[in-house]
Amino acid sequence: MENINFVPCVCFVKRGVAKTNPDKVQLTKEELAEIINKAKEEIDDKSENENSDAEMATDENKENGTTTMEDEFKLEDYDKNKELPSSVLGIGSIALIGDAETESYFNKRDRDDDVDDSDSEAEDDIIKSDDNLILVGHVEGDSSILEVYIYNENEGSLYVHHDLLLPTFPLCIEWLDYDPSNPKPGNLCAIGTMDTEIEIWDLDIIDCLEPAFKLGSKKKKYGHKDAVLDLAWNKNYHHIMASGSADKTVKLWDIDTCKVHTTFSHATDKIQTLCWHLLEHQTLLVGSCDGYARIYDCTQANGTHKSWKVSGEIEKTEWDAQNPFCFGASTNEGEVYYIDCRVENPIWQIKAHNKEVTGLSISQVCPGLLITASSDNIVKTWDTKNGTPQLISEKDMKIGDIQGMTVCPENTFVIACGGDNKSNNFGVWDLRNEERVQNVFGSRNLVVISG
């Protein structure tokens, strides 16, 4: 496991939502002991369930010929001689290791406090109104971490502000501002993992060892029954979160109660991607490994939907804000489809990459700007203004197979990507640094999308 070092998921956060001075947790040894004891109980409960679940899942995968999550991230290639654990290093590992590591937690905290006294460190701790956060799920060796980067476009700065030790392997990240325990907007993120639970973490708290709350419970057997592969928070109905899973279901969660409100079970393979419509707030677009893109009216509990079949497994989907009847879908075969939901066949289809397209962005504000990223290591920009996309630029991000891409909310030309290059697996790129991108898109009038 020591050879593993990659970034499976990334998420840009808009400016102005983070606390200027985040709160810092100062646990006593008694409080840490209570957390550790709770973690031990959860580990014991999960171990009992996972043994039987793993046997059933293995048999099912063999029968169906489906890809496991370990295969999806090529984890066997990192170290073929060691078993991949279902949970990498987190608070649960501290619970298993014992008192020595508990003591080291306090020693490290004391050292960090001494370092933070310097003026330069104190200045870096302050989050300014023109700072973006970038949330980076990072797996390194036996550790699974959420790194919270600060990106300031005006200053050209990029650095890790703080990080959170995660109990399990992160697969997707979704930002949200809804905290059911606080009437004011918050700064949180939901993380889908190799486990079945969805963890909600407060990004305004440093050195936190536990999520603020969870959606689902493996112990009580409600929620998903396999890894959570994608999440979509409804920005208009703030208490609603959608999740897609390797268990082939989509679930709509009521964050107020942390319970499932609705489940859609129409897919015959893993749900990899989902996104809410930008104007019709009850409409959810879902893409799955069975090759279907499905659109649900979530006001209909019976799962009323329309569907379109493409070749291969759907990796990413994206609504077109400027053409609200249309959406894009990318596949593991390197194809990108553009579909009008009023007609049966795609408007266009292109071979965008030689491998799976793991990142897809249809710009909300720049007419015709399409960005794709792939596990072939390449990010490409396309111009769709006159119909079928025309390739404008391509760039090797030098981060290995690109696992995910995210776009800056305030600047449609700035992207961040995560990859599997062990020595360099995260990067931010301003597309305007490419002359051809500047020539094609620099003079276009940007559109303001409401809602």
The enclosing H or E element of 216 equals none
- Say which amino acid occupies 323: N
- Predicted confidence (pLDDT) at residue 84 exceeds the cutoff of 50: no
**Which of 166, 164, 231, 221 has its CA nearest to residue 196?**
221
> What are 422's two structure tokens?
């062990």
The stretch 360-365 carries a mean pLDDT of: 97
For residue 403, what are the CA distances in angstroms to 199, 220, 270, 313, 436? 21, 32, 17, 15, 25
Give per-residue pLDDT as tens, 113-138.
555 555 556 677 899 999 999 999 99
Which tokens sit at 308? 């379109």
pLDDT at 68: 58
In terms of phi and psi (left: phi > 0; alpha: psi -120 to 50; beta: otherwise), the region of 400 is left
* 65-79, 309-323, 326-340: segment of lowest average pLDDT: 65-79
Instruction: Decide the pairing of beta strands 188-193 and 198-202.
Output: antiparallel
Residue 96: what pLDDT? 44
pLDDT (average), residues 262-271: 96
CA angle, 340 then 342 then 346, to 5°: 35
Residue 229 CA to residue 318 CA, distance in Å, equals 16
Pairwise CA distance, residues 152 & 155, whole Å: 6
Show the tokens assigned to 279: 């104007």
198 pLDDT band, cuts 50/70/90, is very high
Domain ranges of the chain: 310-450
How many other CB atoms are there within 10 angstroms of residue 250's CB atom?
27
Query: Mean pLDDT for the chain?
Result: 86
CATH T-level topology, domain 310-450: Methylamine Dehydrogenase; Chain H (2.130.10)
Closest CA to 90 of 75, 105, 110, 68: 105
Work out the average pLDDT over 274-295. Answer: 97
Tell me the C-alpha distance between 167 and 217, whole Å.
Answer: 15
Say what the pLDDT of residue 35 is.
64
Residue 102 pLDDT = 54
- Residue pLDDT, tens place only, 206-264: 988 899 999 998 776 789 999 999 999 999 999 999 999 999 999 999 999 999 999 99
Query: Residue 88: is its pLDDT beyond 60?
Result: no
Q: What is the pLDDT of residues 424-446, one digit of tens each?
A: 999 999 999 999 999 999 999 99
Report which residue type is found at 115: V
Please check the confidence at residue 93 and state whether its pLDDT lies above 60: no
Centre a 10 Å sphere on the Cβ of residue 68 and count the other Cβ atoms it contains. Answer: 15
